[in-house]
Amino acid sequence: MRRVLLMLTASLVLVTSAFAQERTVTGKVTSAEDGSSLPGVNVVLKGTTTGTVTDVDGNYKISVPSEGGTLVFSFIGLTTSEIGIGSRQTVDVQMAADVTQLSEVVVTGYGTVTKRELTGSISSVKGDVIENLPLQTFDRAIQGRLAGVQVASASGQPGGAINVRIRGTGSINASNRPLYIVDGVQMNTGGVSTQASSNALGGVNPNDIESIEVLKDASATAIYGAQGANGVVIITTKRGKAGKPVVTINAQEGIVEPLNLYEMMNAQQLAEIRIEAFQNNPNSGGAAAAIALHGDPNDANLTNFDWVDAMFRTSRLRQYDISVSGGDERTKYFLSGSYNFQEGQIIKSDWSRASTRLNVTSKLSDKLSVNANLSLSSQSSFGTIADGNFVNGPLVAAFLAFPNVSPYDDEGNFVNYGDFTGGHLFGYNILQGVNLERREAQTLTTVSNMSFTYTITPQLKVTAFGGVNVDLTRDYNNRPGSIPAFASTNGSALVADRRFINYNTNVVADYSKQIGDKHKIGALLGYEFKGETRDQISGSANQFGDPSFLLLSSGTPSGATGVFTEYKRNGVFGQAKYDYDDRYTVDFTIRRDGSSRFTPGNRYGTFYAGSAGWRISSESFMSGTTSWLDNLKLRVSYGVTGNSEIADFGWNQTLGSTTVAGRYLNAATVRINRPLGVPLGWETSTQTNIGVDFGFLSGRLSGSIDAWNKINSDLLFNQGLDFTSGFGSVLANVGEVKNQGIDFELGLVPVKAGDFTWRVAYNQTIQDNEITKLPDNAPRLNDLTVGESINVFYGARYAGVNPANGRPMYYDINNELTYTQTNADRVIVGDGFIRYFGGVSNTFEYKGLSLEVFFQFQGGNDVFNSDLFNIEAAASNTDNQRINQLERWRNPGDITNVPRAIEGGEPEGSGLGVFSTKQVADGGYTRLKQVTLSYQVPSTLLRKVGITSLRVYAQGLNLATFTKFNGIDPEVINEAASSYGTYPNGRQLTAGVTLTF
């Protein structure tokens, strides 16, 4: 049976005033499935606000009028039962699982509704789905679990960055990140460090999460008005439940292995092909010069060092969690602590987090209750230089380094790599760099809030809420003088302190009333304020006496910086709902928001949405279908939301100081920061959604289909300017992008026989994206092109190698072959927009044994893999080459795709760096994302030793990938641009145990 926690509103269930004549009814609530007692079940006297909750043993006691009445028993995931009391003193109830799951509570903006009432498009994941996954942040864990929510890790660095897109990519310059809300606190997102790929959401321990709701359509997000355009992700953490304390301990350990790295040439292979390259260029010094650089391929003693092997490793991870929850009728608590440690696949890189949380709710009186969520976490990571063609980035340099040169001398000291390689990689010994350079980030995060709810009348409640999210980050970068590149300054050090303070506060009045049997109305009215400041100070020093010295004070001060920026937002919102007879639901939301990020006078915008639902299956004419139809509901919504995710001061023109570095003769320098454009205002998103929810055959098949259309207009766009004006771009509200798609969510129980169950959860989104308007009605702006997706890229069309002479050829605009492509020949050669994505999970359960097999997939997109510029250059640059370059052209008549090797590239014609179809590949993939095998030890055995539950499990992540991609990991590839040296994901294997007592 599903074990789900007490519904969030449970704490608000009210003890009502006494009736004149009453008596007490008691009873016990048990599970229809296994007869176990059910704590935390809501028991309400129908038509009143009289109610209570069952205790730890499932017992309850309630006052009822002497004439009896009807008791309503409800619990998340169970079918609500209505039982007439009659004259009974004891009412025992068995509750069955709710196959339709319509009673499931869904957290919406500033409130909750049951799935039954829902008219907007909201997807949710319960905490147990992502529990104990060795993924450091919750956004990574929801990948493939939700239709319409596209999640891709942007880095395989543990704790690293994640990209989330809800329903396409609507914005070009403004952020496409959804709004994240943790227990009502609006979160900082993005990276917090410059030294390690980081994720501001990493301060939240995924195991503390009760549920994640993703608000997708306008009707769901309009209550967040200004920030709703990219969707909203609402995270609710676990609450305590009444009863004796429950302690849960979880421990798991595992490993991470690198996946699918490029296979590079060994020293002999490289030397041989490089000799050929030198011989083909008369200015290069011929074979002797090549041998001087790369060694003699016939030399039996030729050094063969595997840099990739030395840089990547199989690394360890471990995770320990403990939580305690409990409480009584009045006060409930949830307390947790966790420690997480994971090494990266790149040597030195790692991440760790210690976190603690206390969630408390308490009824101070019949009218007043308080809720507080306090969390504190500390993350540290050791970073890796990635995402760029950097000689000091291991993800680039380890593949390129000469295999005939060892990073170490005979004594095991690092060599000056440049001395042996003709300054290859600017002489940077990447193994030395990664080992000796310190790149650390430490972040302290709190996400905390407190709210008071006052019940004015049973129908009207007012809640006052205040929350903060603070990230304090310190970055350390020490570049010791023992690395030759830093020797001239005797090493350097940078320490940067970043403070991010983000607070939001609101007051919300919530009214709901049942009028008669059939009418239910609800209304919400609120005011909210949010402020955010980011500031940073940093100091740097050089001239250290010894490479081991780390503190700034040990060197000579060389710089100091100060940065400050802030923004503020306020808004007022209202919502009205009406439900008739559980058949017709309508709601309307309006919000007016102001943001300091826009030009004064343009700061306020009004956003709104409406939606309606029709439960067809509750109509009397459908009464004949109840045997096979559980639920059928039609939903429509339409609305307009806003996006203000641009720079805080993008609107104003100032004469401002440049950085310290931007000085002349060490004197201060100012300049005009930007040209003044048209006043900036809101970017708006207009969204239409039509959806159907359905359930058949007592839960054997259920799901929903949503078709959506989203038009983002007045895009906040860095409009390119004719640079002769002195400026490259200006921020303006121009342009329009259209996204449309269909989301499917399907749950299926193909087999349910005895103790064996096979469940399938499937979701998929099919989507499309099109630019419908660009600034000045231009047909094209750089690569952005009207009528195409936002992510197309232009380039040359590679036509292969001329068999006569081995030279690379391209198609020109007239489809003629050419050696020298011109700008006019550049056409669209790829489209990075992901056209479909989703996931399928299969769960097999037999008694205590459970196996989950989860696939995640995406596709329909091309990717532009820049790594190939370096490693697939036909040995014409100096870098080590991927072994497929051995297929190079050698003799007239050779038919191959790899041109001849010629040092420095062909003098005539286009250079090595031509971006062409050669670097473009199909980016689609299907990944066996997760397999979890677990065994629940029978409770009969455990009870004797005082253990409630014991579960052991083993799981694997990223176990297999099916793709045509030409690089390492198709998941971390940037959809919009070229990707150099991305940090790939690894394969994780872990085993663990969860113990509850």
Partner 1 sequence: MKNIISRLLMVFVVLALFASCEEQIETTQPDNNPPDLAFGKLSNFSQLINSPYDRMQAFNYLTQYHMLAGDALADNGRLVNNTGRYVGELINQNGSHYNYWGLYASINDCNIILDRIDTLYKIPSQNTTANRVTIRTIVAQALFLRAMAYFDMLRVYSYEPNQIANNWDKGVVLRDRGTLDVSTIDKRPRSSVEESYQFVERDLLRAIDSLSVPGTTIPNQPFRPIRATAHALLARVYLHWGKNAEAVTHANLAITTKPAAIRLATAAEYPGMWNTAITAGRVESLFELRIFPGSSGSNGDWSTVDGVNESLHSLTTTGISTASQFVIAASNSLIAAYEPNDVRRNLWTPVNIRGQEFQMCLKWSGSGVGAASPGFWADNIPVIRLPEVYLILAEANFKLGNEAAARTALNTLRANRGLPAVTAVTTGVDLFNRIMNERRVEFAFEGQRWFDLKRNGQNIPKENADPLAYTDFRVLAPIPLNQIILNPIIEQNPGY
CA–CA separation, 496 and 818 (whole Å):
51
Q: Which of residues 258-277 bind partner 1 (CB under 8 A)?
A: none
Contact between 529 and partner 1 (CB under 8 A)? yes
Query: Whole-number minimum distance, CB 184 to partner 1, in Å?
Result: 19
Contact 783, 805 (CB under 8 A): no
Contact between 805 and partner 1 (CB under 8 A)? no
Query: Whole-number minimum distance, CB 533 to partner 1, in Å?
Result: 9
Q: Which of residues 104-163 bind partner 1 (CB under 8 A)?
A: none
| Amino acid type, 893 | G
Stretch that binds partner 1, among 67-75, 117-125, 419-427, 933-941 (CB under 8 A): 419-427
Site string for partner 1, 471-490 (x = CB under 8 A): --------x----xxxxxx-
Q: Which is nearer to partner 1, 673 or 939 (CB)?
A: 673
Q: How many CB atoms lie within 10 A of CB 636?
A: 17
Contacts of 664 (CB under 8 A, 6+ apart): none
- Listed residue (864, 815, 848, 846) closest to 973, CA to CA: 864
Identify the residue among 9, 283, 457, 514 touching partner 1 (CB under 8 A).
283
CA–CA separation, 144 and 346 (whole Å):
26
| Amino acid type, 715 | L
Contact 6, 239 (CB under 8 A): yes
Q: Which of residues 620-659 bind partner 1 (CB under 8 A)?
A: 648-649, 652-659
Q: Which is nearer to partner 1, 456 or 697 (CB)?
A: 456
Contact 174, 595 (CB under 8 A): no
Q: Which is nearer to partner 1, 219 or 492 (CB)?
A: 492
Q: Which is nearer to partner 1, 115 or 569 (CB)?
A: 569
- The pair of three-digit structure tokens given for residue 204, joined into one six-digit string: 């939240």
Beta bridge partners of 671: 656
DSSP reduced 3-state for 86: coil
Q: Which is nearer to partner 1, 593 or 971 (CB)?
A: 593
Q: Which of residues 655-694 bind partner 1 (CB under 8 A)?
A: 655-673, 675-678
Query: Whole-number minimum distance, CB 522 to partner 1, in Å?
Result: 11
Identify the residue among 19, 452, 578, 762 touching partner 1 (CB under 8 A).
578
Query: Whole-number minimum distance, CB 588 to partner 1, in Å?
Result: 9
Angle between helices 286-294 and 267-279 (to 10 degrees): 150
Q: Which of residues 864-893 bind partner 1 (CB under 8 A)?
A: 877-878
Query: Whole-number minimum distance, CB 104 to partner 1, in Å?
Result: 28
| Amino acid type, 244 | K
- The pair of three-digit structure tokens given for residue 780, joined into one six-digit string: 């094209």
Positive or negative: CA dihedral 448, 449, 450, 453? negative
Q: Which is nearer to partner 1, 283 or 548 (CB)?
A: 283
Q: Which is nearer to partner 1, 512 or 896 (CB)?
A: 512
Site string for partner 1, 892-931 (x = CB under 8 A): -----------xxx-xxxxx--------------------
Q: Which is nearer to partner 1, 466 or 675 (CB)?
A: 675
Site string for partner 1, 384-403 (x = CB under 8 A): -------xx-----------
Torsion-angle region of 624 (φ positive above 0: left; ψ -120 to 50: alpha; else: beta) = alpha
Query: Whole-number minimum distance, CB 658 to partner 1, in Å?
Result: 6
Query: Whole-number minimum distance, CB 830 to partner 1, in Å?
Result: 18
Query: Whole-number minimum distance, CB 168 to partner 1, in Å?
Result: 25
Q: Which is nearer to partner 1, 364 or 676 (CB)?
A: 676
CA–CA separation, 422 and 410 (whole Å):
20
Q: Which of residues 753-782 bind partner 1 (CB under 8 A)?
A: 780-782
Stretch that binds partner 1, among 169-177, 686-694, 716-724, 935-943 (CB under 8 A): 716-724
Count of residues engaged in binding partner 1, rule: CB under 8 A: 110
Q: Which is nearer to partner 1, 22 or 535 (CB)?
A: 535
Identify the residue among 47, 84, 190, 282 touching partner 1 (CB under 8 A).
282
Q: Which of residues 813-842 bind partner 1 (CB under 8 A)?
A: 820, 822-823, 826
Give the 3-state DSSP-derived string for 90-121, with helices as H, strands as E and coil as C. Answer: ECCEEECECCCCCCCEEEECCEEEEHHHCCCC
Q: Which of residues 552-571 bind partner 1 (CB under 8 A)?
A: 558-559, 564-571
DSSP 888: B
Q: Which of residues 487-526 bind partner 1 (CB under 8 A)?
A: 487-489, 492, 521, 523, 525
Q: Which is nearer to partner 1, 483 or 761 (CB)?
A: 483
Question: Tokens 């989301």 appear where?
Answer: 743
Query: Whole-number minimum distance, CB 983 to partner 1, in Å?
Result: 20
Query: Whole-number minimum distance, CB 681 to partner 1, in Å?
Result: 14
Query: Whole-number minimum distance, CB 578 to partner 1, in Å?
Result: 8
Identify the residue among 124, 542, 763, 988 touching partner 1 (CB under 8 A).
542
Q: Which is nearer to partner 1, 621 or 664 (CB)?
A: 664
Query: CA angle, 76 as apex, 72 and 77 as ends, to 5°?
Result: 110
CA–CA separation, 169 and 683 (whole Å):
13
Contact 44, 50 (CB under 8 A): yes
Q: Which is nearer to partner 1, 96 or 672 (CB)?
A: 672
**Parallel, antiparallel, or unpaired for β 817-818 and 827-831?**
unpaired
Beta bridge partners of 953: 934, 992
Query: Whole-number minimum distance, CB 273 to partner 1, in Å?
Result: 15
DSSP reduced 3-state for 749: strand
Q: Which of residues 285-344 bind partner 1 (CB under 8 A)?
A: 285, 288-289, 292-293
Query: Whole-number minimum distance, CB 299 to partner 1, in Å?
Result: 15
Query: Whole-number minimum distance, CB 421 to partner 1, in Å?
Result: 8
DSSP string, 314-349: -EEEEEEEEEEEEE-SSEEEEEEEEEEEEE-SBTT-
- Listed residue (7, 11, 91, 13) closest to 49, CA to CA: 13
Q: Which is nearer to partner 1, 104 or 683 (CB)?
A: 683
Q: Which of residues 778-797 bind partner 1 (CB under 8 A)?
A: 780-782
Query: Whole-number minimum distance, CB 491 to partner 1, in Å?
Result: 10
Contact 900, 806 (CB under 8 A): yes
DSSP string, 155-199: --STT--EEEEESS---SSS--PPEEEETTEEPP-S---SSS---
Phi, psi (5° rounding) for residue 891?
-130, 150
Q: Which is nearer to partner 1, 246 or 809 (CB)?
A: 809
| Amino acid type, 517 | D
10 Å CB burial of residue 568 (0-12, 13-18, 19+) is middle
Q: Which of residues 428-467 bind partner 1 (CB under 8 A)?
A: 428
Identify the residue among 726, 803, 892, 938 touching partner 1 (CB under 8 A).
726
Q: Which is nearer to partner 1, 343 or 867 (CB)?
A: 867
Contacts of 238 (CB under 8 A, 6+ apart): 5, 127, 208, 209, 210, 323, 325, 334, 336, 359
Q: Which is nearer to partner 1, 600 or 893 (CB)?
A: 600
Contact between 847 and partner 1 (CB under 8 A)? no
Contact 159, 199 (CB under 8 A): yes
Q: Which of residues 590-619 bind partner 1 (CB under 8 A)?
A: 590, 592, 594-596, 600, 603-604
